[in-house]
Structures are given as C-alpha cells and as structure tokens.
Amino acid sequence: MCVRVDDLGERKLIEILQKFVADNGVLGFGDDASAFKIAGKMVVINTDMLVKKTDVPKEMSPFQIGQRLVVMCLSDIVAKGATPKLLLAAFGIPPEYEVEEFLEIIRGISQTSEKYGVKYVGGDLNTASDLIISGTAIGIAEKALIKRDGAKVGDILCVTGPFGLTGAGFKIILENAETPKSLQETFINAVFSPKIRPKLGLMLAESGTVSACIDSSDGLAWSIHELSKASQIGFEITNLETIIPKEVFIFAKKNHIDPYELALYGGEEFELVLTVPKERLEKAIKIAEKSGEILTPIGKAIPEKNIFLKKGEKKITIKPQGYEHLKTK
Amino acid sequence: MCVRVDDLGERKLIEILQKFVADNGVLGFGDDASAFKIAGKMVVINTDMLVKKTDVPKEMSPFQIGQRLVVMCLSDIVAKGATPKLLLAAFGIPPEYEVEEFLEIIRGISQTSEKYGVKYVGGDLNTASDLIISGTAIGIAEKALIKRDGAKVGDILCVTGPFGLTGAGFKIILENAETPKSLQETFINAVFSPKIRPKLGLMLAESGTVSACIDSSDGLAWSIHELSKASQIGFEITNLETIIPKEVFIFAKKNHIDPYELALYGGEEFELVLTVPKERLEKAIKIAEKSGEILTPIGKAIPEKNIFLKKGEKKITIKPQGYEHLKTK
C-alpha cells in the first residue's frame, strides 16, 4: 500500500523534510524564514505559495489576492526583525484567465509592496490548471534576528493587534453566520484586507526588547504553541479578553460561539506574537505607543510545556489547532 | 469580449508587467534575475516555477524533477556571474501524491543543491491540484554582475557547451523519433539530467572578460535574440556546426531534420551564451580550459539588429522562436 501525502499532512511532512535540508546557522529550519549573513548584515528570505483553490475565498477580489500575497510574504520577514526590501512573484495561471483580472492581481501586488516600502521587481510566468502565486520576499536586518527559540520562563507574552475579527469574518464568508449589518464590513475587511506592522516590528527588534517572535498567520493558538515548542517553555494566558474587540463579543453572542475560540483559532491575522523579558516590558510598550500602535501583554512564559488559558476561575488547556495543508482525511 | 491570458501569451504579458514593477537599479526587469547591493556585494535572486503538467515529460523521475528545479533556478544566478548559495522551494502538491515520490523529489533537490555547493534550506508546503514547485535561488557576487545589455559591435559570441542534444531528446520523448540505440541514452540524459557550469561562470565573471551573458534555457536562438534586444546589436553566427555534437548530425540525418534547427531551438540546455570583447577572447578561452571546460566562439556582434546564420554560402535569418508559456492559440 502506498502512503499518500494527505495521509501524513503538512506538519508531519515538514518534520520528515527536516533531515533533507541544510543547516544555515542563522535561522533554524522550523523558523518563519531563512537567512544568511553577509558583510555583518542579515539577509532574510521567505517564500510562500498562494493556491487559489484552497487559500482564496471566492469573494476575494483579484486586487485583494495580490495584496494578500504581499502581506503573507512580508509578515514572516517582519516577525524576524528585518526590513522587507524586495518581492518576487512566480505565477501559474490557467490559460483562460482574464488579462484584466491578472493585471488587477499585479496592481494589488505592486501597490501593496509600495505601501510597505518594498520593491516588486518581477518573477516568473507559467501555465497551470489553477491560479497559483508563489511569492518570495527579501529583507535586511542590521542587527541580530529575532528567532522563535529565545523565550525564557517569566518572559511576558505580547501581541501587536486585535484577534477574533478574521475568525468572525470566516464564519460569515464560509458558514453564512449572522452578523449585525453595521459590523459586517469590519469582519470582512479583516479577512480580505489584512495588514502587517513593519515599522513596529523593526522598532521592537532594534530596541532589543524582544526575546522571541513569530507571526500569527496560522492562528494565535498555533503561533503560541510554536513559540512554546521552539523555546521549550509553556505559556499561561491570563487576559485574552483584552485583545478581543467588542464587535467580536457581539458577533459571538449572536451566533452562540465562544469569542475566545474566534480569537485563538481564526487565523490569517498577520500580527506579531512575541515575548519580552519582564524588565523590558515597559520600554517595549512605550516603543509601540511611539509608533502609534499597541503592544498588549496577554500572559507569561511558564516552565510547564503547555498552553493554559485562564478564563475567570477556570484554567483551560489550549490545543495546537490551526489550518493545515495536505490534511484532508 | 474579455481578453484571456492565452490571447496574449507569456512574452506580451511580461511586456505589460514591466510598468508595474519597480526599478531596482542593479539588474533590469528583463534580465535573468533580480539583484540588490549590500555592503559592496551583490545579492542575486531568481524565482522559477516548475509545473508538472506543462514542464515535466511523464518519463522524468521524481528525483530528476528535483534536479531539474535546482538547475533551472541556479542557471540564471550563474549567468549573472554570481555564486549560488541558497535554495528555497515552495510546493503545491495534490493530496493523493505518494509520499515516497515526494521524498524522491526532495532528495533530487537536496543532492543536486549539495553537488553545486548550495544549501537547500526549506520553503513552503501547500495543497494544489497539480504538482507545482516554485524554487528561489540566492547567489552572491563580489564584483559587478554581468548583464544582458553589455554586448558591443565586434564582440565575439561564445557558448559554454554543446547544443542539439536536448533537441534530439525532445524529438524522441515527445514525437517518438527514431534513433540508433547506442545514442538514445545521450539524448535522453541531456533532457532528464541537465547540468550547469557554476565554476566556469564564476571564473569568467571574475576575469572581467565577459561583456554580456544569458542562460540558454529557452533555446539558443531565443537567448541570442534576447542578448541582441538588450544590447541593441545583432549577431552573425559563422560556425554553429562546431557546437553541434556528431551524434546530433547522425540523429538529424536519420530523421530528415536540420541539425542546425535542433541546436537553435531545442531548449533546456542551461549553458551560458555570452559575448567577449575581441581582445579578451584568448584569455576567456584559456580560463575555460583551466577549469576543464570549453568556451566556443560561434560568431560576432554586428550593428544590424538581426540574427544571421552563415551556412556555407547561404545567409539565413534566425527567428526568435522558443517555448512560450500561456500561448496556446
């Protein structure tokens, strides 16, 4: 009997892959991106593939597809404390695809790159049976990169933005969940026009206040588990509610869903999930304020390698769930 | 009426794309790769997508698919005079794909990377309806890069290897052309196990003997036309027969095909097509000999922007033909 890739799934395959890849000495295989050192600087590279059939809700416009590609590629560069500089995009396009739609994707890529100070310099064009775009982002850091494995017991777990909006958005788009009309746009926008915070990422990185960092594209719960696994510590989340917008609570109540679940398992948020040594927390929060953003502490690193959520008097164990490619069974 | 991408084809689309991409000041949009300068060095990046349905003959083994990906990605880095260093690969895989075949591709990528001194450091895994691999290669150059636009009238046109073997190979694989059994392996190997010459590329680049360079993956005729277009000159090819192996002449005769056409339009050779100022030709040829390779002059740059082939007494105009993606009509 032959074993199919979907018998194993993306994460198991990545585990197997590990023995075939070379250690580059800068960022480990399991980290958000790859990197190398050149003349005292760090060059960070990240490649991410967008497959229309599995990654793009049908309501997403071609411009938003381009925007989404840029954001997902840059997000990992930002999470390592580097400044994104260049973007390349290799396309697989169905022959019958409309030129105008293709150009809208290109406009999305070009304008979003420009917005983040990144040069979209080209790539590759091919025929394929489904629309597939593989982006490669390159960033530069003057200082050491922020890895996933630097968190220590006692470090404070922080995030750079709200969580739960995309979770609600996906429920509306994919499951037709009910929502007050006045809130619909907020949720849908969170899914269709994701944002990254390169300025905040860079300022935090350069301040030396961050001990470990990851982006949250696979969902908050998954990201926290990855930090935990890489740093060999656990986390106790004590005030998740502070990063859940009131709109999410309203939506959750209307649909009888747990708002905490929306925040933990929504995914596609592209925020930073990071740890800060206790004595540098005040400095880190001030840096965020200075750049007009908010850094919110939500818990702390503990010795037990598990993720706990304190919800009133209850203490719940958070499972490492998140979207997984190639796992259809 | 809407316009489909295959109404325009890859090259017209690339032309349109040009106005959406940013000028990076190092290598132009039309060149083989992208690049940026950092601390006095050049970092060269190239992304290339391999689509199983259109790019991979069904007889190609999974290991050879991996090998092919590495060669096609590194080839453009070498053509710019840089040393390839890192490789990333983003996969789109059908869920039913066999794990063992997938690992064979990975072995092909890993072992071929190692062979060329390149670190395969990771990438991305996704579900897709067809097997698609998007590779990104990164190289470093200590000196200025070799562009496509540096050829001057009088420069000598040279190539680094034989041409025509893949042309014969494709005729055998795709059209069941007849071939003496003793030669079959040579032709098939040329298609299924392509090679690059990174050492020669680097030595030529560092010697300062090369004025313009391109890789020949789209076919010799196409590559010469690209050099011509970028450098605003033409070429007269005077001794094409010197780079056509005798096996190709035998095959061509047996199948009543023009051996020159096999050499000009075969494609997938991954050799270097370059120009050398006349006074540096001797030096360039000696450099090639020193690294155990052969650099063969086949013609010279002329003011008229056209490509001529001298064949005995006849002078034939060479058309810019080569494989084009997204051109099905």
The answer to whether the CB atoms of B138 and A45 lie below 8 A apart is yes
Residue B134, classed as helix, strand or coil, is strand
Predicted confidence at residue A325, as pLDDT, reads 61
Note the Cα B143 to chain centre separation in Å. Answer: 22
Q: Which of B20, B106, B328 sits opposite A17 (nearest CB)?
A: B106
Best A37, A121, A133, A327 residue to mutate vs chain B (most B CBs within 10 Å)? A121
State phi, psi for A15 to the nearest 5 degrees: -60, -45
Q: Please, where in chain B does CATH 3.30.1330.10 lie?
A: 5-141
Predicted confidence at residue A21, as pLDDT, reads 92
Report the DSSP beta bridge partners of residue A156: A276, A300
Distances (CA, A) of B41 to A45, A81, A143, B81: 17, 22, 18, 12
- Each residue of A218-254: pLDDT tens digit? 999 999 999 999 999 999 999 999 999 999 999 999 9
Pairwise CA distance, residues A308 & A318, whole Å:
6
Contacts of B79 (CB under 8 A, 6+ apart): B32, B33, B146, B201, B213, B214, B215, B272
Predicted confidence at residue B222, as pLDDT, reads 95
Contacts of A14 in chain B (CB under 8 A): 125
Q: What is the dihedral of CA A207, A213, A217, A221, to 10 degrees?
A: -130
**Among the ranges given (A18-32, A137-151, A271-285), the one the predictor scored with the smallest mean pLDDT:** A18-32
The answer to whether the CB atoms of A5 and B102 lie below 8 A apart is yes
Mean pLDDT of A32-58: 93
Pairwise CA distance, residues A139 & A81, whole Å:
9
User: Contact B212/B147 with Cβ under 8 angstroms?
Assistant: yes
Provide the whole-model pTM. 0.93
Rg, Å, chain A Cα set: 20
Q: Quick one: B281 exposed, middle or buried, by C-beta within 10 A (0-12, 13-18, 19+)?
A: middle
Q: How many CB atoms lie within 10 A of CB B313?
A: 5
B249 Rama class: left (phi>0) / alpha (psi -120 to 50) / beta:
alpha
Predicted confidence at residue A276, as pLDDT, reads 98
Predicted confidence at residue A328, as pLDDT, reads 46
The answer to whether the CB atoms of A121 and B24 lie below 8 A apart is yes
HEC assignment per residue over chain A: CCCEHHHHCHHHHHHHHHHHCCCCCCCCCCCCCEEEEECCEEEEEEEEEEEHHHHCCCCCCHHHHHHHHHHHHHHHHHHCCCEEEEEEEEEEECCCCEHHHHHHHHHHHHHHHHHCCCEEEEEEEEECCCCEEEEEEEEEECCCCCCCCCCCCCCEEEECCCCCHHHHHHHHHHHCCCCCHHHHHHHHHHHHCCCCCHHHHHHHHHHCCCCEEEECCCCHHHHHHHHHHHHCCEEEECCHHHHCCHHHHHHHHHCCCCHHHHHHHCCCCCCEEEEECHHHHHHHHHHHHHCCCCCEEEEEEECCCCEEEEECCEEEECCCCCCCCCCCC
Q: Pick the residue from chain A with its C-alpha nearest to B14.
A: A125
ipTM of the complex: 0.92
Token digits of residue A16: 């197997």
Query: How many CB contacts within 8 angstroms connect chain A with chain B?
Result: 249
Predicted confidence at residue A203, as pLDDT, reads 93
Q: Pick the residue from chain A with its C-alpha nearest to B329.
A: A95
User: Contact B229/B303 with Cβ under 8 angstroms?
Assistant: no
User: Contact B66/B108 with Cβ under 8 angstroms?
Assistant: yes
The answer to whether the CB atoms of A122 and B17 lie below 8 A apart is yes
Angle at B300 between CA B297 and CA B305, to 5 degrees: 140
Q: Which of A99, A121, A123 sits opposite B5 (nearest CB)?
A: A99
Q: Please, where in chain A does CATH 3.90.650.10 lie?
A: 156-317
Contacts of A213 (CB under 8 A, 6+ apart): A79, A80, A81, A146, A147, A148, A201, A204, A205, A272, A273, A274, A275
The answer to whether the CB atoms of A41 and B38 lie below 8 A apart is yes
Pairwise CA distance, residues B150 & B147, whole Å:
6
Query: What is the spatial order of strands in the sheet that B132-141 belongs to?
Result: B34-38, B41-51, B132-141, B83-93, B119-127
- pLDDT values of chain B reduced to their tens digit, one per residue, 329 residues: 689 999 998 889 988 998 899 887 788 888 889 999 998 899 999 999 999 998 898 899 999 999 999 999 999 999 999 999 999 999 999 999 999 999 999 999 999 999 999 999 999 999 999 999 999 999 999 988 999 999 999 999 999 999 999 999 999 998 999 999 999 999 999 999 999 999 999 999 999 999 999 999 999 999 999 999 999 999 999 999 999 999 999 999 999 999 999 999 999 999 999 999 999 999 999 999 998 999 999 999 999 999 999 988 899 999 888 666 655 44
Buried b (16+ CB within 10 A) or exposed e, B215-238: bbbbbbbbbbbbbbebbebbbbbb
Distances (CA, A) of A101 to A94, A96, A108, A157, A258: 12, 11, 11, 42, 38
Predicted confidence at residue A11, as pLDDT, reads 84
Continuous H helices in B62-179: 62-79, 99-115, 165-175
Report the CATH number of the A156-317 domain: 3.90.650.10
Q: Which of A90, A121, A124 sits opposite B22 (nearest CB)?
A: A121
Token digits of residue B72: 């096609």
Q: Which of A92, A121, A328 sits opposite B34 (nearest CB)?
A: A121
Pairwise CA distance, residues A205 & A213, whole Å:
9
Token digits of residue A159: 């995030």
Pairwise CA distance, residues B146 & B33, whole Å:
11
Nearest to A176 by CA among A163, A187, A190: A187
Pairwise CA distance, residues B233 & B133, whole Å:
36
B312: closest CA of chain A, how far (Å): 39
Mean pLDDT of A161-167: 96
The answer to whether the CB atoms of A41 and B39 lie below 8 A apart is yes
Mean pLDDT of A301-328: 84
Mean pLDDT of A280-286: 97
**Summary mean pLDDT of chain A:** 93
Interstrand relation of B307-311 and B314-317 (parallel, antiparallel or unpaired) = antiparallel
The answer to whether the CB atoms of B51 and A128 lie below 8 A apart is yes
Contacts of B22 in chain A (CB under 8 A): 110, 113-114, 119-121
Report the DSSP beta bridge partners of residue A300: A156, A236
Domain covering A5-141, topology: 60s Ribosomal Protein L30; Chain: A; (3.30.1330)
Mean pLDDT of A58-64: 94
Tokens 């590609």 belong to residue: A69
The yes-or-no verdict on residue A329 having pLDDT over 50 is no
